[in-house]
Amino acid sequence: MKVVWSEKFIESYTMDPAAASGRMEAILEVIRDRVSFVEAKPASVDDIAACHTSAHIAHIRQIGLYEIAALAAGGAVQAAEIGMKEPCFGLIRPPGHHASANSCWGFCYFNNMAIAMEKLKRDGKIKKALVLDIDLHFGDGTVNILGGKGYVTLENPSSNSPADFVRQVDKALAAGVYDVIGISAGFDYAREDWGGVLGESDYTDIGRRVRETARKTGAGFFGILEGGYNHRVLGHNCMALLEGMRED
């Protein structure tokens, strides 16, 4: 399975949990011998501007985070494009689902998922899309940018029960037929992370259900990293999702 990645994502670019030293290394340690890496490339200014205002882009430049945020957005675009043909995951940071058109918070700067979906749509590769945001925190930025577009269905499962959480995923997957399914893969819902709910087998189930639905309907599918902050379990949870997503 292909994973979009850059060594630049190891750099600790701010003082927040998403940028913490050792976070990306914790994932790499688990997955590096089980996937094939694709070098991430920055998103174009046009791709970013399709989702964010010029004032917001200027602000990200001013605070010195444009290059790393553009690289993460570009990695998401690559993951989405590869995902139209085969499963793919974007091992990227900064995360993006709290970045709105003209503002951002929650460790996010550009909305990676929105930029990727808009790129696929503009290039005529999709007509309908599902974003499945499994992060502990509601993807308000993704809703802000994509919620009124009409072609995207946005689902943010929320539960204190693993079985119910997965049932919500199933319901979302069964609710329509999509050209692409994008997973905003936050791992902070994990049993040993902030959310305290999902285990490795649950992440594998989610990945498998997405894969089976995509294969049945002819959709592309991909995932990109959002949250997840317990370095001890983060890599194992990420690999569990990838195991579900990968082809048999």
* pLDDT of residue 173 exceeding 90: yes
pLDDT tens by residue, 194-209:
999 999 999 999 999 9
* pLDDT of residue 187 exceeding 90: yes
Contacts for 26 with CB less than 8 Å, ≥ 6 apart:
231, 232, 234, 235
* pLDDT of residue 248 exceeding 90: no
pLDDT tens by residue, 63-121:
999 999 999 999 999 999 999 999 999 999 999 999 999 999 999 999 999 999 999 99
Can you read off the two tokens belonging to residue 192?
């040993």
pLDDT of residue 246: 95
pLDDT band at 125 (very low <50, low <70, confident <90, very high): very high
User: What global pTM score does this model have?
Assistant: 0.97
- 2-245: which CATH number, 3.40.800.20, 3.40.50.300, 3.30.930.10, 3.30.360.10? 3.40.800.20
Can you read off the two tokens belonging to residue 96?
């993006």
Mean pLDDT, rounded, of the chain: 98
Active site residues: 98
* pLDDT of residue 162 exceeding 70: yes
pLDDT of residue 135: 98
